[in-house]
A = this chain, B = another copy of it.
């Protein structure tokens, strides 16, 4: 069997800062490939199609599911999110490491198919802090915040299924830890 790249999965509750940590990692290090997710949700201010996400219609998303083009997909807070399969598999086959940023449901699906993946749970310093971050982001209704918080509370228990946990108290520290995990995983004896 040919040597393959490492598949890293960064997951954690909604609004914990997964995107910010990945952006900071990718800005600093160019030795890992980022798999862009596909979503049916509307772009938030500043988000760019083909860079932050591939923004698609519900029809297009359904088509991708039917054609088995997604590694995982999930409906989160009313919107669909998925990971295109071809990019991930082709990149791993070139011995390049790939990092995915996905929600907890999606990560569980990836674990079923890619048990050799490295699963990293990004945790908020506390649920209170998480709630305050969602408020500050200002893109969610009160009702939506309540749903997110309820989900987050359940999702925190899933940490047991992960290989690593990083508490996102400071972006820079979290990025340093994520980078350390990538370096260490590359040193693992198979």
Which residues of A pack against B, CB within 8 Å?
A: 120-121, 159-160, 162-166, 176-177, 179-181, 183-185, 187-189
Contacts and interface: CB of A to CB of B under 8 A. Distances in A.
Contacts of A183: 176-177, 180-181, 184
User: SS class of chain A's interface: helix, strand, loop or mixed?
Assistant: helix
A81 B121 CA distance: 41
B177 A189 contact: no
Number of copies: 2
A176 B186 CA distance: 13
Nearest to A176: B183
A189 B176 contact: no
B189 A121 contact: yes
A159 B187 CA distance: 12
Nearest to A179: B180
| Residue among A159, A164, A177, A187 with the highest chain B CB neighbour number at 10 A | A187
A187 B179 CA distance: 12
A167 to B, nearest CB: 9
